[in-house]
Amino acid sequence: MTDTSRPVACITGAGRGLGAALARRFARGGYDVVLAAQTAPEIDLLAEELAAQGAATLAVQTDVRVANECERLIDATIAEFSRIDVMINNAGVAAYGPAEDATPADIDRMIDTNLKGAIFGSLAAYRVMKQQRTGRIINISSIAGKRFLPNESVYCASKWGLQGFSGTLQIEASRWGVHVTTICPGGINTPFWRSMDQVPFPDHIDPERDFLSPEEVAERVWETANTSSRHMVPEVILLPMIPEPAGER
């Protein structure tokens, strides 16, 4: 029988990168964990790993671009654990290049996943948290939601939209005891960046050396999720310390 006294975190995009690091951190911190991703094999393997470490887990194949699938994810969470304490909308995709090169498929993929997927996930969780009178919704945004970055126009648009949605939902949700936070990290050293050979990084920047690790960001998300409920944390910005170019002081 599931121990309903343990807190429960639901994480989308949990199969790899930051999502997997989040799942491991919350499981290590005493949470039961619901893993969601568009493809099942990765989250099934991660669920086995976390279960071997003592965490109760549930893997739910979910396409966050579809509202009904996000509702199904939360319904499965409640059916298994009878509660949801933290909803982390982490699923995200990107395409790099000049604005005029963005295809309709690229645009749909980023807006549907990064923005609409986070909206659908937030609202599905909020439906339950409002009844519970408690809960935290944490949306993984980006520094791209705070700045104008060349070659990331549609990605920026998706993250700026997420900032607007999250900030407004925080105002509406706070009266019910529900917290909403956006996490805005800079570059994270994940397979996404390692596969992007066309990104023209300056010579003094090495993503594997200089970017944030998934574990660093996961730790800050963990701290945010477990801060006092007596105050709000609307936004967290987390940037890597990039070294100066050679010869500059």
pLDDT tens-digit readout, 53-106 = 999 999 999 999 999 999 999 999 999 999 999 999 999 999 989 999 999 999
pLDDT in tens, 11-54: 999 999 999 999 999 999 999 999 999 999 999 999 999 999 99
| Catalytic residue check, 155 | yes
CATH at 110: 3.40.50.720
**pLDDT computed for residue 197 by the predictor:** 52
166: containing domain: 8-238
174 inside domain: yes
Enter the tokens of residue 239: 């940037």
151 inside domain: yes
**pLDDT computed for residue 172 by the predictor:** 98
- List C-alpha distances in Å: 123 to 33, 110, 163, 182: 19, 19, 15, 15
246 inside domain: no
> Phi, psi (5° rounding) for residue 33?
-130, 130
28 inside domain: yes
15 inside domain: yes
d(Cα 118, Cα 141) in Å, to the nearest integer? 9
Q: Which of 31, 96, 126, 155 is catalytic?
A: 155
d(Cα 142, Cα 217) in Å, to the nearest integer? 11
d(Cα 184, Cα 50) in Å, to the nearest integer? 27
Say if residue 200 is exposed, middle or buried (CB neighbours under 10 Å; 0-12, 13-18, 19+): exposed
How are strands ordered across the β-sheet holding 8-12?
57-61, 32-37, 8-12, 86-89, 135-140, 178-185, 235-238
**pLDDT computed for residue 145 by the predictor:** 95
Give the residue-averaged pLDDT of 135-152: 95
pLDDT in tens, 179-226: 999 999 988 777 655 555 555 555 555 555 667 889 999 999 999 999
d(Cα 17, Cα 14) in Å, to the nearest integer? 8
173 inside domain: yes
**pLDDT computed for residue 248 by the predictor:** 47
1 inside domain: no
Can you give the pTM of this predicted structure? 0.91
Q: How many domains does the chain have?
A: 1
127 inside domain: yes
